[in-house]
Amino acid sequence: MLKFSKPRTKLISELMSSDSLEQQQMIWTKKWDNKLWDFYLKIISNRFLWKHIIREPGFRLIPKSFDVFTYMKERLNFMGTQINMKQSHFTNLLFYGKYKKDCLLPQHLREENFEIIKQNLHKLEIISESLTNYLSRFNDHITAFSLSDFSSYADEKIYNNIWNAVIKSAKDEAKFCERQFLIKKNPESIFSEIRRNSQLENTLLHTDESFIYSFCVGKIMKS
């Protein structure tokens, strides 16, 4: 449960028990989003805190020109006004650290998907190896890539090396999805094979429940 939630336990209960999105929006805009909330966001956006207290290793990579407070404010306001927080598994974990009864579980935890997952477990392979090393074994082979926010921890050289390995191992027209948090990258400016789908990126930005991320998605065109 987030530390800021303790002084706002009653207010969180109101938000997470709203009967409609309209009611949740009203509570968020009238009661939650105030000067106290801005003060808290400014504290957790403070670079000194991240560097010297939290000691987040990837924070040194965030450009000084990037406004962390404004970005977090925008994305959390999106959460409070556009996402059904009672049903969202992301907000349940954010506020409670667990899934409550009204929460819509992630797809892999839903009862109706249990047998499908069970029957396909043999298709999963867990690799404990650097991504670049693993991909170096393939040429024009992989059809899709789901990439975490590796830009949060990869400097420019490592980031480009990873994308170079992705492109080398990808089949023509392979799909990719990269999540980005506080460090926004444009790999298409380095690699001509990357074709981003801005329309799909915008759709995901406004529909994906992990609302703190933006997306770099598209196809790898090698022909």
- DSSP state, 151? G
Contacts of residue 170, defined as CB under 8 A and 6 or more positions apart, other chains included, come to 140, 141, 142, 143, 145, 176, 220, 222
Lowest mean pLDDT among 52-56, 83-87, 129-133: 52-56
Total-model pTM: 0.86
CA–CA gap between residue 50 and residue 63 (Å, rounded) = 14
Q: What ranges do the domains of the chain cover?
A: 3-109, 125-220
Per-residue pLDDT of 88-114, as tens digits, reads 999 999 999 999 999 999 999 999 999
Does the pLDDT at position 171 exceed 70?
yes
User: Which CATH number is correct for 125-220, 3.40.50.1860, 3.40.50.280, 3.40.50.920, 3.40.50.150?
Assistant: 3.40.50.150
First to last CA, the chain: 49
